[in-house]
Structure 1
Amino acid sequence: MQTDELKKKYILQKILGYGQYGTVYRGVNLRTKETVAIKELRHSNADQGINVQALREIEILKSVKCEQIVALKDLACGQNKTYLIMEYMEEDLLTALRRDTFSEQQVKLIMFQVLQGLAYLHKQGIVHRDIKPNNILYRNLEIKICDLGMAQNLNKQKPQTTRIQNHSYRAPEVFLGQKYCSKVDVWSAGVLFIQLLFKSNPFKGPSEVASFNQILKFCGTPVEENWLGVTSLKNYSTLITEDPKERTLHTLLEKKMPPLLVNLIDSMLILDPSQRITAQQALLHPYFHGMNIERCLNKIQASRKKIKTESQTQTEVFNYPNGNKIIVVSQISQKSKNCF
């Protein structure tokens, strides 16, 4: 689809967010009235067409079909721009986290879905490489993993870059320069688990070195006894200059978590990736025993129907960024409470 066709099929309503490579809009399909997210990716002349990151994201989104991964609905290409039309959710997990305090049971449901999405990607040989709250879409405890521009298919045997993951969610093997695998996503998910429960990221720091030092503080210093071959990694002598520290992660976690959850997160945040559990193993952990995602989400849907809603007619003006087209839309908006 060309961009001219895009403008006939969709209306861009408002900007949802900005990224390094483009802008995300909320839009509406004029025929079906479905609300969608439209990601506008810009390309420089040096790209000679669609840039590598955009191509990678399109290729991966077209190849996956999973309830926990955002779905690609349409695609439009034009001069220096590509548009990805995807399913829409109201906000990301970072926005929800800033507003709400989640109970342990709510976090359990959210993280089970995150791990389901990761287990699916990893089974396809795909590593997301940028799991963080603002790359997880959220609606009433349902989630969709999004923003796969950093993702890589390990089956293609391409060179690995170490410039992956926000440093507050970055796995220790990436810091130290070891060849990595899908378990970098498990590390990020373990950090996210803690953040949802404590409303803070224990590894957050103003710089990469500061974040790595936080890993040493809570997870201990990697040495040959707990990570065979670690001292020979290329960044080891640069990043580890002080006496070894003991692992104190349990002390942090036990303040707010039951023993099974402490054990699960501890297993997700093991320094040596060869000993760290996989996403699939995390789903099978005793902490999640008896977890039925469909039953939980059906309960959410049923709860929504019982909640009284307040409706009102609302008129807004929507237009394309270049100002070429303005349309006034009247719609019904509803206010409802969280189901829990």
Structure 2
Amino acid sequence: MAWIIGRTIGRGSSFTVSLAMYSQSGEVLAVKSVELSRSEFLQREQRILSLLKCPRIVAYLGSDVTNENGQLVYNLFMEYVSGGTLTDAIRQQGGRLDESAIRSHTQAILQGLDYMHSRGLVHCDIKGRNVLVGQNGTKISDLGCSRWVGEQPPAMPIAGTPVFMAPEVARGDEQSFPADVWALGCTVIEMATGRPPWLDVADPVSALHRIAFSSDLPDFPRFLSEEAKDFLGKCLRRDPTERWTVHELLKHPFLEEDCLEQLNLKRIQSSISATSPMSILDQGIWESLEESETEKEEATPLHMPNQLELVSSSNSPAERIRRLIECTPSSSSPTPRLPDWTWDEDWVTVRRKNHAEHVVCVGHDQTCMSPTDQYAETNRSSYTHLIRDEEEELELLGRSSTTVHYSVNSSNFNSSSQRLVYIL
């Protein structure tokens, strides 16, 4: 079928990748091209791709040989994946992917590897640049280094990218299914950090020597969840017989359908450990209760929540809430306590003619205030100024008390003794 080549969209070690379009149908595709004399790996990839059909592996569309400026060129046609490589996607996301994206890409790669391994095929070069990302999902590509399980050296030389190689591969022992699992673990690190593993090595030869003969493992990103770290631990085991298979890894908790929801729940629970989701009052009550228990052992002063300490106005809603939260210790108990809100006698209804109802809370050992309607109306101003003066005095003293004490001498009140009132 006739086709038209377009712009170059990528390059490999020996080939170029270009956009192309079938002249008759207008279908867009990708074309890998290399000189025919250097096309051994590309022709090998063509033979392998022609035997595979999996949505997690880039699709094979055909091949041909063209003459360009007197030079024969081998062309391999594949489906076009618009998003580019996984390495490109990492760069576009600011240098690293969040854990939900890592989980999604990892699952797709494992599904492709599971298909390949079930057919006796080892990819041999899993890494970010050999994974494509598009509207139809994540797909494995670049199978030029792939080998069948029976193809061991010298029939098929060891191939791949040094920093992604497994220890047994770096030693030249074998390159089988466990090698793909190790490379997948390295790719997870690449997705999480934006960089390949073993950054502290100077060159590929040093990397191969360290991978092959030391007892070191690549560093696990600290910010990953425990599930993700455990998944990496199953991939990056130096002994290939101890590594999990791709089929086992597909069942790992990190890739479970509800894993993301569980991670989000853990983050929410962690974020509310210091701040109540309901209200400042709710937070203050629980913090005060917890601190009161501690104070019974350590006899330290009660500490108010930071949010309430920042309030500067003694007449603000937060300050009034603060007064409700705290209660000064009694003479019999040096430990601060909370008011008993269930005590019905604490609440006294005060009514005035043709006015709305008002409620005042009085301490257990105090006499209820019940001014007459006429006296309350004529003396409202002096009463208000008296309370305000007391509050300002408390403000100057650093709010050492959360209640207002005052004395009233009048025949209209039941007694002239000191009253304890919570101003609501």
Query: TM (normalized to structure 2)?
Result: 0.55
- Of 204, 207, 216 in structure 1, the residue corresponding to residue 203 of structure 2 is 207
Confirm whether residue 93 of structure 1 aligns to residue 86 of structure 2.
Answer: yes
Alignment partners' CA distance in 1, 2:76 and 2:147: 18
- 2:245 maps to what in 1? 278
Deviation of 1:163 after TM superposition, in Å, equals: 4.0
- 1:28 maps to what in 2? 21
Matched letter for residue 121 of structure 2: I
SS of 1:274's partner is helix
Deviation of 1:131 after TM superposition, in Å, equals: 1.1
Map of 1:52-201 to 2, 5 A cutoff?
Answer: 52-78=40-66, 80-90=72-82, 91-100=84-93, 101-139=96-134, 142-155=137-150, 159=154, 163-201=158-196
Q: Measured at CA, do residues 28 and 206 of structure 1 come closer, stay the same or move farther in structure 2, by a change above 3 Å?
A: farther
Q: Measured at CA, do residues 152 and 33 of structure 1 come closer, stay the same or move farther in structure 2, by a change above 3 Å?
A: same
**Structure possessing the higher radius of gyration over alpha carbons:** 2
Q: Measured at CA, do residues 165 and 116 of structure 1 come closer, stay the same or move farther in structure 2, by a change above 3 Å?
A: same
Contact 1:169–1:203 (Cα < 8 Å) also in 2: no
Alignment partners' CA distance in 1, 2:51 and 2:123: 14
Moved more, 134-143 or 168-177: 134-143
Contact 1:192–1:201 (Cα < 8 Å) also in 2: yes
**How big is each residue's C-alpha offset from its partner over 1:9-50, in whole Å with a ceiling of 9 and x where there is no partner?**
211110112223322110112222221101113222xx7xxx
Contact 1:128–1:148 (Cα < 8 Å) also in 2: yes
Deviation of 1:132 after TM superposition, in Å, equals: 1.3
Query: TM (normalized to structure 1)?
Result: 0.67
- 1:337 maps to what in 2? none
Matched letter for residue 87 of structure 2: L
Q: Measured at CA, do residues 253 and 18 of structure 1 come closer, stay the same or move farther in structure 2, by a change above 3 Å?
A: closer
Alignment partners' CA distance in 2, 1:55 and 1:177: 25
**How big is each residue's C-alpha offset from its partner over 1:152-191, in whole Å with a ceiling of 9 and x where there is no partner?**
1124566365541111111111112212311111111100
SS of 2:241's partner is coil
Q: Measured at CA, do residues 214 and 196 of structure 1 come closer, stay the same or move farther in structure 2, by a change above 3 Å?
A: farther
SS of 1:69's partner is coil
Moved more, 133-142 or 88-97: 133-142
Matched letter for residue 102 of structure 1: L
Q: Measured at CA, do residues 40 and 212 of structure 1 come closer, stay the same or move farther in structure 2, by a change above 3 Å?
A: closer
- 2:270 maps to what in 1? none
**How big is each residue's C-alpha offset from its partner over 1:105-157, in whole Å with a ceiling of 9 and x where there is no partner?**
11100110011111111111111111111111112582111111111112456
Q: Measured at CA, do residues 92 and 111 of structure 1 come closer, stay the same or move farther in structure 2, by a change above 3 Å?
A: same
Q: Measured at CA, do residues 248 and 124 of structure 1 come closer, stay the same or move farther in structure 2, by a change above 3 Å?
A: closer
Alignment partners' CA distance in 1, 2:236 and 2:152: 26
Deviation of 1:286 after TM superposition, in Å, equals: 2.0
Alignment partners' CA distance in 1, 2:16 and 2:125: 18
Q: Measured at CA, do residues 10 and 78 of structure 1 come closer, stay the same or move farther in structure 2, by a change above 3 Å?
A: closer
Contact 1:113–1:143 (Cα < 8 Å) also in 2: yes
Matched letter for residue 177 of structure 1: G
Alignment partners' CA distance in 2, 1:25 and 1:119: 29
Identity of counterpart residues, as a percentage?
27
Deviation of 1:275 after TM superposition, in Å, equals: 0.8
Q: Measured at CA, do residues 189 and 41 of structure 1 come closer, stay the same or move farther in structure 2, by a change above 3 Å?
A: same
**Structure 2: which 5+ residue stretches go unaligned?**
260-424
- 1:317 maps to what in 2? none
Larger proportion of strand: 1
**How big is each residue's C-alpha offset from its partner over 1:198-237, in whole Å with a ceiling of 9 and x where there is no partner?**
222232444234324664xxxxxxxxxxxxxxxxxxxx7x
- 2:232 maps to what in 1? 265
Alignment partners' CA distance in 2, 1:103 and 1:287: 14
Confirm whether residue 40 of structure 1 aligns to residue 29 of structure 2.
Answer: no
Q: Measured at CA, do residues 253 and 141 of structure 1 come closer, stay the same or move farther in structure 2, by a change above 3 Å?
A: farther
Deviation of 1:277 after TM superposition, in Å, equals: 1.1
Matched letter for residue 248 of structure 2: Q
Deviation of 1:58 after TM superposition, in Å, equals: 1.0
**How big is each residue's C-alpha offset from its partner over 1:283-332, in whole Å with a ceiling of 9 and x where there is no partner?**
1112222379xxxxxxxxxxxxxxxxxxxxxxxxxxxxxxxxxxxxxxxx
- 2:4 maps to what in 1? 11
Contact 1:162–1:174 (Cα < 8 Å) also in 2: no
> Cα RMSD between the aligned structures?
2.5
Matched letter for residue 5 of structure 2: L
Contact 1:203–1:212 (Cα < 8 Å) also in 2: no
